[in-house]
């Protein structure tokens, strides 16, 4: 009897092809649309209804059952509230990491299994081999940075067939061969759950206008005013409205004083770091070894930097990097790789 697989179908081409491939491979496939967010925001219409219809259209084409799981309440609690709380602290969190841990490979997996599924599948660019998470063959699209908090158990019950494709063009070509209506649909941008809206607009909606404060340059001079320190992140150069001349880069934030510190010097030492301390760490199989060297990624699509494990404890992981990294940001994730295998990672503190 073929395995029953519930495929998370977002209405995009990647999850559509995932479902088609698994049907082709003989699995008993059910499509599931996860309704995580449906709220319109001022000037931005949430695309959930269109995405739901696109996913349903593909399911009808593939002749598979299709259902919707409503996770809005849990999504608000586990992802949105977490993200907003982190921004309040002056951190820059990554909601995609939390969404994968808590919703897609947490709540969706548990709900699907209790609903009769043997496994789940998603349209993520990653590979699951022998209980390990590996980078996708398409390194441009690789999403393992967002997947490092998955448990070994969740991986053993998940499939990611898209991870074996070398290019996005190959995935779209497969969608055309299956005659799927999402073959030419553009990839979604913006926040993972809302759609085409910037994080500042979202935070303004959630938290309202913030207290303005001083912008201080590298010489200690007040050169302007910001509209809320929570809206800005380390390394940012746009949106400061400081006029012409050389661009300014944010080097640090002083939340108690509500100040943003900037510099016109891209080589400013406050912008660069070769030491990392990670907290709230998660390792998929075994933790990294002391004094061993691994490849470290400090943001999605950033280049891999060699780093040595200096210290590891229940509370933290300390890494020395072989070269300095620009704009290391508190609240973001750093992910540890052993060649193409994801070891795990943690939150930059």
User: Is residue 20 predicted with pLDDT exceeding 80?
Assistant: yes
Catalytic residues: 99, 192
Residues 244 and 280 in one domain: no
Distance CA 324, CA 217 (A): 22
pLDDT band at residue 32 under the 50/70/90 scheme: very high
Residues 53 and 167 in one domain: yes
Residues 108 and 231 in one domain: no
Token digits of residue 238? 């746009």
Q: Which whole number is the average pLDDT over 119-129?
A: 98
Q: What is the pLDDT of residues 187-216, one digit of tens each?
A: 876 566 556 677 888 899 899 999 999 999
Last residue of a domain, one of 263, 281, 302: 263
**Please, how many CA atoms are within 13 Å of residue 211, restricted to the half-sphere of its CB?**
9
User: Is residue 116 predicted with pLDDT exceeding 80?
Assistant: yes
Residue 186 resides in a domain:
no
Residues 161 and 226 in one domain: no
Distance CA 32, CA 55 (A): 8
User: Is residue 346 predicted with pLDDT exceeding 60?
Assistant: yes
Residues 308 and 249 in one domain: no
Q: What is the CATH number of the domain that holds 339?
A: 2.40.30.10
**Please, how many CA atoms are within 13 Å of residue 285, restricted to the half-sphere of its CB?**
15
Q: What is the pLDDT of residues 151-169, one digit of tens each?
A: 999 999 999 999 999 999 9
Contact 149, 282 (CB under 8 A): yes
Residues 158 and 277 in one domain: no
Token digits of residue 218? 């590298």
Distances (CA, A) of 326 to 47, 189, 270, 305: 34, 24, 9, 12
Q: How many degrees, rounded to 5, is the angle at CA 302 between CA 296 and CA 304?
A: 35
Distance CA 15, CA 114 (A): 22
Report the mean per-residue pLDDT for the chain: 94
pLDDT (0 to 100) of residue 187: 84
Q: Is 301 helix (H, G, I), strand (E, B) or coil?
A: coil
pLDDT (0 to 100) of residue 39: 87
Residue 285 resides in a domain:
yes
Residue 204 resides in a domain:
no
Residue 199 resides in a domain:
no
DSSP code per residue over 277-336: EEEEEEESSSPPPTT-EEEEESSTTPPPEEEEEEEE-SSEEEEEEEEEEET--TTSEEEE
User: Is residue 71 predicted with pLDDT exceeding 80?
Assistant: yes
pLDDT (0 to 100) of residue 243: 77
Residue 26 resides in a domain:
yes
pLDDT (0 to 100) of residue 238: 85
**For a pLDDT cut of 70, what percent of the chain falls above it?**
98
pLDDT (0 to 100) of residue 194: 59
Residue 191 resides in a domain:
no
Residues 129 and 254 in one domain: no
Q: What is the pLDDT of residues 41-58, one digit of tens each?
A: 877 888 899 999 999 999
Task: Find the domain containing 22 and state its range.
Answer: 4-177
User: Is residue 320 predicted with pLDDT exceeding 60?
Assistant: yes
* Burial of 169 (C-beta count, 10 Å sphere; 0-12/13-18/19+): exposed
User: Is residue 78 predicted with pLDDT exceeding 70?
Assistant: yes
Of the two residues 310 and 43, the one the predictor is more confident about is 310
Q: Which whole number is the average pLDDT over 1-17?
A: 95
The total number of structural domains in the chain stands at: 3
pLDDT (0 to 100) of residue 27: 98
Residue 198 resides in a domain:
no
Q: What is the CATH number of the domain that holds 219?
A: 2.30.30.280
Residues 120 and 229 in one domain: no
Residue 185 resides in a domain:
no
Rounded to the nearest 10 degrees, the angle between the axes of helix 13-24 and helix 168-177 is 60
pLDDT (0 to 100) of residue 248: 93
Residues 170 and 141 in one domain: yes
Residues 254 and 286 in one domain: no
pLDDT band at residue 241 under the 50/70/90 scheme: confident
In eight-state DSSP terms, residue 242 is -
**For a pLDDT cut of 90, what percent of the chain falls above it?**
85
Distance CA 298, CA 157 (A): 28
Residues 258 and 289 in one domain: no
Residues 250 and 282 in one domain: no
Q: What is the CATH number of the domain that holds 56?
A: 3.40.50.620
């Amino acid at each position: 009897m073929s395995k029953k697989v519930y495929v998370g179908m977002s209405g995009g081409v990647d999850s559509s092809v995932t479902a088609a491939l698994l049907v082709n491979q003989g699995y008993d496939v059910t499509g599931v649309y996860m309704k995580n967010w449906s709220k319109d925001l001022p000037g931005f219409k949430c695309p959930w209804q269109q995405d739901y219809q696109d996913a349903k259209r593909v399911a009808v084409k593939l002749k598979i059952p299709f259902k919707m799981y409503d996770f809005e309440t849990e999504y608000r609690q586990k992802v949105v509230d977490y993200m907003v709380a982190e921004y309040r602290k002056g951190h820059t969190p990554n909601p995609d990491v939390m969404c994968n841990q808590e919703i897609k490979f947490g709540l969706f997996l548990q709900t699907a299994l209790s609903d009769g599924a043997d496994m789940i599948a998603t349209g993520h660019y990653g590979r699951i081999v022998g209980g390990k998470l590996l980078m996708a063959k398409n390194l441009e699209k690789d999403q393992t940075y967002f997947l490092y908090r998955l448990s070994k158990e969740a991986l053993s019950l998940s499939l990611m067939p898209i991870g074996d494709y070398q290019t996005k063009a190959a995935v779209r070509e497969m969608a055309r061969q299956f005659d799927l209506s999402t073959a030419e649909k553009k990839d979604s941008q913006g926040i993972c759950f809302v759609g085409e809206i910037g994080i500042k607009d979202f935070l303004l909606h959630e938290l309202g206008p913030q207290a303005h404060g001083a912008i201080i340059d590298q010489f200690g001079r007040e050169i302007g005013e910001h509209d809320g320190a929570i809206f800005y992140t380390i390394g940012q150069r746009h949106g400061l409205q400081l006029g012409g001349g050389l661009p300014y880069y944010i080097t640090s934030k002083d939340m108690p004083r509500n100040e943003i510190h900037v510099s016109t010097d891209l080589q400013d030492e406050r912008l660069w770091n070769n030491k990392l301390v990670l907290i709230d760490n998660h390792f998929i199989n075994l933790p990294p070894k002391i004094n061993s060297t691994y490849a470290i990624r400090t943001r999605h699509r950033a280049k891999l930097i060699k780093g040595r494990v200096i210290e590891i404890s229940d509370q933290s992981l300390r890494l020395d990097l072989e070269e300095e990294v620009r704009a290391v940001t508190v609240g973001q994730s750093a992910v540890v790789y052993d060649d193409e295998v994801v070891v795990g990672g943690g939150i930059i503190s």
